Chains A and B, each alone.
Chain A
């Protein structure tokens, strides 16, 4: 019902049209050890993988943003991609339960470095694409290399924005806010296609309900062996030489005396020993 003629004009004649685009959105996800797991180094110098694995937490923000974008634009294909062994399919299923339409598993053995990972993801996306947008998490919580998205951007010849905490797609341009060191923020505008590294504050992931999980079990996962992608070998690589767990030793030191004396002692420790005060 319209209360006035002006109301009719505003709601029917001049109603805002929803931006409808047919987008191909890739989300790179990683199958990582649960942050709550007890990490042990095995006799082979690698982490003992007899632990619970989950989707990299930052990748949840990436998947969420991709799914929200799909709802905003109306037509989009959200594809989750990962490099890993067969167990990594569980993380792809989690991404599809959160709303990704389908997934690609680039099957590989071992724990490839960021260089190899970026090359393989790039090849998989090119083979399936072309991509309009690529989301990743800002870093993985196991390797914390913080470089895969940049190498991926270089390989795909796309600009990259990292640690994104706000995202908007307007008239074919991506507008993001990136969180920098010491809490500063920077606003960027990127042409599509581009790579967006999701930060923790980008959104609150909406977790799936049981019907979503059931639907995800039936969504397609394309499996391609890393060798099939014929990724040109890189001239450089990162090799893990040694892995050690750090032994946490705490040596509490009681501070005694009056409240003023204790406060002075704390300030001195923070300034002169911990060096977190000027």
Chain B
């Protein structure tokens, strides 16, 4: 017998779960389906889970600043639900945005002023006082270690940084998704796992439901694609949807490194999340007193766009395209970080995580309906939407509900009021039909 729901959400990651949660709060009978074995086990588990406010657009900053309020009041957001696995914790380290040629930090500062983000301007002396392990020379432009100029002695000092006291990371991104799932279930939401979607059924351009790989058919008038790195494949299952998007998504391979903190420096407790465009890296504390070092995709680094199924199966054409860390990128990211932190000792064996971004053409997400009635998308997170997950959940739920009740979102885009900071954002900003937004940083910075 075919099961029937009010809404099916494809994906139970950190964005799929809050969409199910918020729709369930509105009274929808929801089902999240996921091909893996539990919530948050996909690309969410590999997320650096950084919470920071700096974005290259005002709406980006506004969403991120709104998001803080959810992470800060995590138990309240979850409706004080119990989770047998425990609760993820928000670690507020504060956030440094290094003033560098690699970031349009003046634009970020203006955006902060528009939105009302609290920040301070720190000069080099202040940074050295607060983070004595940092060498504040300028190393720009970003280079690879193979470049003969990589080890050139720097000549100039940086100007300083913007410091946000509000910023940090979530201790366990997979657990955070699991927490939201439990909260959603407390509101009547359902979840099924090891359930891979094989087809999106429709008739007369209206979604009917999904078919799983095992042949199970599940009906719903609303289907939401939150498939992460598989988002483009799911869009291709829904007739005309992929072709109807001006902005496309595809999977980008990314490596994140874990390197021990210098001896004697308690980075875990004393360190700051740092966005360091001068060296093309961002870093934050990781368990074991490690530096977690991510890349900001500098121009000198090759980009590997991959097939997610081949990538996760380790069957891409080269190991540089599979889910294994490479020596070259290990050296690139740790050596760059070691320019900023000269006392960092670098192990021979790469350690860290290799996973995928679901990347849009302009690194800005798509939170939108589609050309198929009833089919919606929360995709293209591009490595920068973990922090916005609870906001995205609430915003998508409102978008879906309004559209199902007659809103023509393409003609009159939903204006969504961020409940904590009171600011209104134009959800049309995230439209699948937009032209490429050249205000974007075209990077994980968003």
Q: Do A and B come from one complex?
A: yes
Interface residues of A, Cβ cutoff 8 Å to B: 34-38, 40, 50-55, 57, 60, 90, 94, 206-211, 213-214
5 smallest beta-carbon distances between A and B, as pairs? A207-B345, A210-B338, A207-B347, A94-B348, A38-B314
A209 touches B349 (CB 8 A): no
B319 touches A51 (CB 8 A): yes
B335 touches A53 (CB 8 A): no
| CB-defined contacts of B338 to chain A, threshold 8 Å | 209-210
A52 touches B326 (CB 8 A): yes
Q: List 30 A-B contacts (CB under 8 A).
A: A34-B324, A34-B350, A36-B324, A36-B349, A37-B319, A38-B314, A38-B319, A40-B314, A51-B324, A52-B319, A52-B325, A52-B326, A52-B330, A52-B350, A53-B327, A54-B348, A90-B327, A206-B345, A207-B260, A207-B346, A207-B347, A208-B345, A208-B346, A209-B345, A209-B346, A210-B335, A210-B342, A210-B344, A210-B346, A211-B342
Distance (Å) between the CB of A209 and the closest chain B CB?
Answer: 6
Distance (Å) between the CB of B319 and the closest chain A CB?
Answer: 5
Within B319-359, the residues touching A (CB, 8 Å) are 319, 322, 324-327, 330, 335, 338-339, 342-350
Distance (Å) between the CB of B169 and the closest chain A CB?
Answer: 24
CA of A38 to CA of B310 in the docked complex: distance in angstroms? 14
Q: A207-B348, A210-B335, A210-B344 are in contact. Are A38 and B327 (CB under 8 A)?
A: no
Q: A53-B327, A210-B335 are in contact. Are A38 and B322 (CB under 8 A)?
A: yes
Distance (Å) between the CB of B436 and the closest chain A CB?
Answer: 35
In this complex, the member of A34, A60, A94 whose beta carbon has the largest number of chain B beta carbons within 10 angstroms is A34
| CB-defined contacts of A214 to chain B, threshold 8 Å | 151
Distance (Å) between the CB of A99 and the closest chain B CB?
Answer: 12
In the complex, the chain B residue whose C-beta lies closest to that of A56 is: B348
Contact of B344 among A37, A52, A60, A209 (CB under 8 A): A209
Distance (Å) between the CB of B150 and the closest chain A CB?
Answer: 9
In this complex, the member of B338, B346, B350 whose beta carbon has the largest number of chain A beta carbons within 10 angstroms is B346
Contact of B324 among A38, A60, A207, A209 (CB under 8 A): A38
Distance (Å) between the CB of A85 and the closest chain B CB?
Answer: 16
Distance (Å) between the CB of B314 and the closest chain A CB?
Answer: 5
B439 at the A interface (CB under 8 A) = no
In this complex, the member of A54, A60, A210 whose beta carbon has the largest number of chain B beta carbons within 10 angstroms is A210
| CB-defined contacts of A206 to chain B, threshold 8 Å | 345
Distance (Å) between the CB of A68 and the closest chain B CB?
Answer: 15
B318 at the A interface (CB under 8 A) = yes
| CB-defined contacts of B339 to chain A, threshold 8 Å | 210
| CB-defined contacts of B327 to chain A, threshold 8 Å | 34, 52-54, 90
| CB-defined contacts of B348 to chain A, threshold 8 Å | 54-55, 60, 94, 207
Contact flags (1/0) for B147-171 with A, using CB distance below 8 Å? 0000100000000000000000000
CA of A221 to CA of B89 in the docked complex: distance in angstroms? 50
In the complex, the chain B residue whose C-beta lies closest to that of A63 is: B348
Having A38-B319, A38-B322, A210-B344, one finds 6 other A-B pairs with CB under 8 Å, namely A34-B324, A34-B350, A36-B350, A50-B318, A209-B338, A210-B339
CA of A52 to CA of B349 in the docked complex: distance in angstroms? 9
Contact flags (1/0) for B176-198 with A, using CB distance below 8 Å? 00000000000000000000000
| CB-defined contacts of A90 to chain B, threshold 8 Å | 327
A34 touches B349 (CB 8 A): yes
CA of A34 to CA of B347 in the docked complex: distance in angstroms? 13
In the complex, the chain B residue whose C-beta lies closest to that of A40 is: B314
| CB-defined contacts of A60 to chain B, threshold 8 Å | 348
Distance (Å) between the CB of B62 and the closest chain A CB?
Answer: 39
CA of A154 to CA of B263 in the docked complex: distance in angstroms? 41
CA of A40 to CA of B318 in the docked complex: distance in angstroms? 12
